[in-house]
Structure 1
Amino acid sequence: MVKLYEGGAYLVNGTELIPEEETSKVTALTGKTANKEEAKKGTISYSILEAHNTSGNMEHLKLRFDSMTSHDITFVGIIQTARASGLKEFPIPYVMTNCHNSLCAVGGTINEDDHVFGLSAAKKYGGIFVPPHIAVIHQYMREMMAGCGRMILGSDSHTRYGALGTMAIGEGGGELVKQLLRDTYDVTYPGVVAIYLTGKPSPAVGPHDVALAIIGKVFKSGYVKNKIMEFVGPGVASMDTDYRNGVDVMTTETTCLSSIWRTDEDTKDYLTIHGRGQDYKELNPAEIAYYDGVVTVDLSTIKPMIALPFHPSNTYEIDELNNNLEDILRTVEKEAEQIVGKSNASLSLTDKITDGKLMVQQGVIAGCAGGNYTNVMMAAHILNGKNCGNDIFNLSVYPSSQPVYMDLVKKGAVTELMAAGATIRTAFCGPCFGAGDTPANNTLSIRHTTRNFPNREGSKPGNGQISCVALMDARSIAATAANGGCLTSAEEYMDDYEVPAYEFDSSSYDRRVYQGYGNPQEESDLINGPNIKDWPAMSSLTENIMLQVCSKIMDPVTTTDELIPSGETSSYRSNPLGLAEFTLSRRDPEYVARSKKVNELEQIRKSGACPLKASEDLDRAFHALRIHLNQPELNASETEIGSVIYAVKPGDGSAREQAASCQRVLGGLANIAREYATKRYRSNVMNWGMIPFLLDEEPDFEVGDFIYVAGVRTALDGEMKYIPAYVIKNTEGNPIRKINLHIAEMTPEEREIVKSGCLINYNRNKIKH
């Protein structure tokens, strides 16, 4: 059972949970009076944040990280941004892995050009470069960089190494640029929620099952949103560290800020095996620790789980699903109808029920969640002597690193999997985001990967093609494969098998990873392929702005995959304008053309010409506004013109900054939202010079309407609680209605970044002064 506390609680001696209102029990157990503010300092999280905070104020943190990491979809843009801002050398270890575009399957020379650029940057600035196929980003960081009490920042949303005592955060590239320029990661002290574990998982239950059970309980309520999940309690010891890693990486799907676990001898053994025993130290809560919330998890009650399309929180026990197949699958089909909209694509799942059983068409075990040693070993054991069959169902397995692959070969697991009919691949993240093993149209794939958002597996509904993914643990995927693709819980195949101890061999890293930290070669040149482009120039914010609504999305949540698709766009991640052509392509294909048209008007304005002569719609809007405000002198030539997107709750999912930067290079000036799904997306919006407006009321405007905001720079210097704006309807007579926008708390630096027009401008301005 997974249960949520309604309020906060004290944890005493790491074992006794006491609700906040029962403080007398704390005194009875410890002989000390419970002091909430002091007890907040007793969490593991507090001690790590305090050690990395440079502000001297724990309410407003300015954090410096011990190391950073990026992959080949993000590191080019980050380095280009930092270089434009004055980068001379990497001040902390910066690991660049090549695990997202490593297939080099599309785009001609584009992807490999990015890899060559990355190696040249590692040489020039003193970085660590992990070549393609050697390791996925998070497995390398676990094996070689994470350590107890450390903090790591990564430009991938699944940057999570809490099970190794490292507080890791996934953010957009702008936040990594700040660290490269010796600036700080600024955040208000977050809430800390205890994930109190008891019991022990059954042999059929893997880390994905535990993670999905937690996600299913906390996501929809936002219980841990932008908070730190701190894993404590006796149940931690029931899982080895490799298993804990598999649970921990999925905390991203709760929308928490980060995670941390208590450490023990198994953590020490993991680090020692990897040659880094000196990086261990015991991390435990203090005698009295206060948590802002508590999630209790009895591991012994968790059963094999499945997260149905189209979100990791859409969870069911596999047995529950199998007992109610038609009813549950119809709900997914209805959601698919909303996703495909007016396209001619359609998804059917109930037609995959045969003799009361659900037949799936593909299985994948991959990446930072699925490709871990123990997961693959368990899958191999289940499939030993079995047969995946020669029908449509197929199984692919991607070990998470070359050292893991090597030991799987030594242990015979690779032979067992291949003999059963599975195919074995190299370390690659593609199945997680639609760049590998894209399923056939109207098929269902079961995957031990991180996400199953709409179209993330590579579907293109606009082209009439849609498939979908359900998340499952490697154990149940192997059981399904052994059953010829019939959805099966691992409980039907489990015995008392114990995974043999992992033997780490670093030879592939020793021979292939470029270790340049601390040895920058300033005279070395960056090698730029033809697709690697600099960021276009962006202007600073004017006092008054005119926004035209270029997309309005009323879905409950808008993911970063919808804002800028993954998969086929990966080849253009080093080309800002080329990538921008894909913005909202799966959700609102007309957005790019609309935004470009608005940007053309802004370019006319900046040239010194009058934009009103180029647009009758804009001319009418200004005319109506002058009359309404009784300001005949209102000057369009002094008013910045840009596009705006409205979404109810944008930004769930990936940390990639391109979800915001693509809007910006097309002329975007703002987002308007009811709330932002994650801190990282809102940070991306601000780092790219866009204003993160909030609107509490229903949006009474449509695509094509204008929104005028006067005195916005002045507002950014104030409390930002009340920012009047005027909606000018793009209809006959141009009726005008006043609305009240506001902006949530921003740091002084974030305000200046937005006023500067983007992080690059902000840093250049600092250098000038």
Structure 2
Amino acid sequence: MVELLDQGIYLLKGQVILKDADKLELAEINNRLAYEGLEPLLEASIEQERARAGTIAFQILADHNRAEDKKNLRLRFDALASHDITYVGIIQTACASGLNEFPVPYVLTNCHNSLCAVGGTINEDDHVFGFSAARKYGGIFVPTHQAVIHQYMREMMAGCGKMILGSDSHTRYGALGTMAIGEGGGEIAKQLLERTYDISYPEVIAVYLEGCPAPGVGPQDVALAIIKAVFKNGMVKNKVMEFVGPGITNLTVDYRNGIDVMTTETTCLSSIWRTDEQVEEYYKIHGRSDAYRKLDPQEVSYYDGLVKVDLSRVEPMIALPFHPSNAWTISELNQNMADILHQVEAEGRKLIDNPNVTFQLTDKIVNGRLKVEQAVVAGCAGGTYENIVAMAQIIGKKSLGEFSLSVYPSSQPVFLELMNNRSIEKLTIAGASIRSAFCGPCFGAGDVPANHALSIRHTTRNFLNREGSKPDNGQLASVALMDARSIAATALHGGILTAATEVDFSSVVLPYTFNQEIYRNRIYQGFGKPHPEEDLVFGPNIIPWPKIRSLPENLLLKISAVLLDPVTTTDELIPSGETSSYRSNPLKLAEFTLSRRDPQYVGRAKAIQKMEQKRQALLEKGQGFEEIEELFLANLEDGQTAEQLQNLIINTGLGSIIFAIKPGDGSAREQAASCQRVLGGDANIAIEYATKRYRSNLMNWGMIPFSIDEDDKGKLSVDDFLYIPEIRKAIENGADKIQAFIINSHGKNAIDLKLENLSRNDRDIILAGSLINYYVKSNKG
């Protein structure tokens, strides 16, 4: 099904894979090409560096690089996108940093907060703010229920050879020839201020597709098979996945989009696909023929690894709680159900680590089959046109009885065409609930199941509490990911897990017509037409970011959380779901930080923050430090003179820090970092960071992304202090390591903290204390 080769390979003419080939002679190459029935090459040899430039990714990155250095890229994007959980903070950051006008098309969608019922008027207040920003600065505003963010970007903004940056982790339009990256809000703000996105040139992994999927096998099945193969070994982490091979031709564009959007769950940086006549037709249907051009690897291209997928061998899949990589074929689960579910229960209980709740799946076994209580198909992954057509073909007008099935078409144009071809009619008569375009079920703000229920979903994630449960209140439900086709087959059988390959149906792809009038009548198209004289409209919940200090000479940090899970998701750092109502209020949102993972964290962080606020107040007044001397005397060197102690207090900032093995998998939401900063956090420590975007978020909020060796993780405990002398000097001077000291009742022990892969710009932002401070300082200077 999926084969991995974690070594460099050459691809000849986009079809022939050559392994272990540092340099090949012309005769060897041409013999292989002749065997494959392809024309010979004219080159006499292959040089690796030249062949690296033969990938599609290289061509697009080179076109968008603003630096002379091809190894350290400084990228500018063609368009930007944000939704209503992120755009308020981004615009506030950019405004505080000197924003005058959106320099490139910036799409503000309203697909995340639109159905939240928490907090009174504040969701709609955010939308009013967003519209006022689109008018003032020249943006594109997509009102609620019109389209989920990524469907709109596919339909209206993607283009072959383009690059798009979005403040949502599933920003992926590779199947449409667009390299897209999901990042935290700070990186969007940089682009709005006409700065660059700075990264080292990423490795590129070939995803070679061959064969044709069997009827009933959908894009989520292919995606889950790939995620299962590459997530845990980190093979594609922070790399570009380039989809090549003859199998692409056997997939429709909607099908490709469905696979592509899930590449986020591999932790790759971005994705890109070769394009063909089907992509050309997609752009023609959407009235944007000029957005198409053919993209292909050059005759010789070099990749840093290979993921080979035989589409004909992919089977219907299910990703059990609590990660998309926890995937099994449905047939495998049915054959070994008790053993697999016991294993998942054991792993899940370790992750939950809460005696107040019980996680159980084996009680869902009925006559040897798994029975689920609810099904949802939604968002950028599930709510696409062909997925819902296939569901209607499987279910027809047969009764679903008491089984709960909700279907969210991804945009109003998709919804209209599903009405026109009567797919909506069939599903509605069968008993499905048809909703509007909304991302809620992906992050716990829609269709929350009952306590202990198991929901199957064609959405992007099934992390712990992603469906909206609250373990601290004794509530726990869970989600398994499946393809829409197998969800329809399961719904048809009253919730008994059923693969779509087990049912007979006509899998004919119905033609699609895109009605542009829907968007023309409703979307605000303001790019290039700013109204600087107009004011931003603030609701009572929209407040500015609190003042953040710059990096002090030394730091004395209280270890306020230690997370020993193999991976810590952004959902655990700052919960999704109902908390999204408070995204525009940093102080209120920060109260939820780590609330479902370590409820005492906020109190610990606030306690040391209060001492830092007192220190700063005394500094401003020029008064003595008697009130806080005890904290320093208890944790630092004995035998200091009064003057030395005073200087130490003046130059040493107090704050909090968390340790996690591998933090940051999942969402691009910058709030996973900014909430720690609002509570006085100065740094994270990790063995490694799960994603570049989380690490970027930390630095853009002035937090230091320390890392340590695996052997040192046992040295860190909650309530210990960490003293880091001369940290400002180390950051300024480009140090890649600094010695710190863990202080507790056992004494004072040294530990080495690594400062890995920090660019000059990263260091300057950390020194300033945040991206906002950095730009304010730059504008003054």
1:2 aligns with 2:14: no
1:20 aligns with 2:30: no
1:682 aligns with 2:695: yes
Aligned to 2:443: 433
After superposition, the Cα gap between the structure-2 partners of 1:343 and 1:36, relative to the gap in structure 1 and judged at 3 Å, is same
- TM score, norm. by length of structure 1: 0.97
1:273 aligns with 2:295: no
Which runs of 5 or more residues in structure 1 are unaligned? none
1:649 aligns with 2:659: no
Secondary structure of the residue that 1:669 maps to in structure 2?
strand
Aligned to 2:405: 395
Aligned to 2:378: 366
1:720 aligns with 2:732: no
Aligned to 2:270: 258
CA distance in 2, matches of 1:137, 1:521: 24
Q: How do 1:495-506 and structure 2 match up within 5 A?
A: 495-506=505-516
Q: Is the 8 A contact 2:739 2:750 kept in 1?
A: yes
CA distance in 2, matches of 1:742, 1:715: 11
Secondary structure of the residue that 1:708 maps to in structure 2?
strand
Deviations 1:462-492 (A, max 9, x none): 1100010000000000000000100000011
Which runs of 5 or more residues in structure 2 are unaligned? 34-40
Secondary structure of the residue that 1:230 maps to in structure 2?
strand
Aligned letter for 1:449? T
CA distance in 2, matches of 1:145, 1:632: 59
Secondary structure of the residue that 2:712 maps to in structure 1?
coil
Match of 1:705 among 705, 714, 720: 720
CA distance in 1, matches of 2:311, 2:5: 17
1:23 offset after TM fit, Å?
3.8
Q: Is the 8 A contact 1:480 1:486 kept in 2?
A: yes
CA distance in 2, matches of 1:188, 1:86: 27
Aligned to 1:242: 254
Aligned to 1:692: 705
- TM score, norm. by length of structure 2: 0.96
Q: Is the 8 A contact 1:26 1:34 kept in 2?
A: no
1:196 aligns with 2:196: no
Aligned to 2:475: 465
CA distance in 2, matches of 1:721, 1:522: 44
Bigger drift between 404-413 and 706-715 goes to 706-715
CA distance in 2, matches of 1:441, 1:625: 58
Aligned to 1:378: 390
Secondary structure of the residue that 1:646 maps to in structure 2?
strand
Match of 2:633 among 583, 596, 619: 619
Q: How do 1:341-352 and structure 2 match up within 5 A?
A: 341-352=353-364
Aligned letter for 1:450? T
CA distance in 2, matches of 1:618, 1:242: 61
Q: Percent identity?
A: 59
CA distance in 2, matches of 1:620, 1:655: 39
Aligned to 1:442: 452
After superposition, the Cα gap between the structure-2 partners of 1:430 and 1:560, relative to the gap in structure 1 and judged at 3 Å, is same
Match of 2:61 among 46, 49, 54: 49
Bigger drift between 325-334 and 165-174 goes to 325-334
CA distance in 2, matches of 1:183, 1:148: 23
Aligned letter for 1:326? A
Number of matched pairs: 762
Deviations 1:210-241 (A, max 9, x none): 00000000000000000000000000111011
1:616 offset after TM fit, Å?
4.5
1:611 offset after TM fit, Å?
5.9
Q: How do 1:241-640 and structure 2 match up within 5 A?
A: 241-390=253-402, 393-607=403-617, 608=619, 613-614=627-628, 616-623=630-637, 635-640=648-653
Aligned to 1:162: 174
CA distance in 1, matches of 2:681, 2:44: 56
CA distance in 2, matches of 1:73, 1:717: 34
1:664 offset after TM fit, Å?
0.3
1:623 offset after TM fit, Å?
4.4
1:508 offset after TM fit, Å?
1.5
Deviations 1:481-519 (A, max 9, x none): 000100000011144431211111122211110000000
Aligned to 1:207: 219
CA distance in 1, matches of 2:314, 2:183: 31
Aligned to 2:682: 669
CA distance in 1, matches of 2:503, 2:22: 45
Q: Is the 8 A contact 2:559 2:719 kept in 1?
A: yes
Q: Is the 8 A contact 1:612 1:618 kept in 2?
A: no
Deviations 1:180-237 (A, max 9, x none): 0000000000000000000001111000000000000000000000000000000011
Aligned letter for 1:577? L
1:73 aligns with 2:85: yes
1:254 offset after TM fit, Å?
0.1
After superposition, the Cα gap between the structure-2 partners of 1:424 and 1:615, relative to the gap in structure 1 and judged at 3 Å, is farther
Deviations 1:85-116 (A, max 9, x none): 01011000000000000114221000000000
Aligned letter for 2:508? E
Bigger drift between 744-753 and 131-140 goes to 744-753
1:610 offset after TM fit, Å?
5.7
Deviations 1:309-348 (A, max 9, x none): 0000001000100111111111221123223323411121
1:263 offset after TM fit, Å?
0.2
After superposition, the Cα gap between the structure-2 partners of 1:464 and 1:743, relative to the gap in structure 1 and judged at 3 Å, is same
Secondary structure of the residue that 2:705 maps to in structure 1?
strand
Secondary structure of the residue that 1:635 maps to in structure 2?
helix
Aligned letter for 2:442? C
RMSD over aligned Cα atoms: 1.5
Match of 1:143 among 155, 164, 178: 155
Secondary structure of the residue that 1:542 maps to in structure 2?
coil
Q: Is the 8 A contact 1:110 1:529 kept in 2?
A: yes
CA distance in 2, matches of 1:225, 1:494: 39
Q: Is the 8 A contact 2:394 2:505 kept in 1?
A: no
Q: Is the 8 A contact 1:604 1:610 kept in 2?
A: no
Aligned letter for 2:672? A
Q: Is the 8 A contact 2:351 2:565 kept in 1?
A: no
Aligned letter for 1:50? A
Aligned letter for 1:274? H
1:752 aligns with 2:767: no
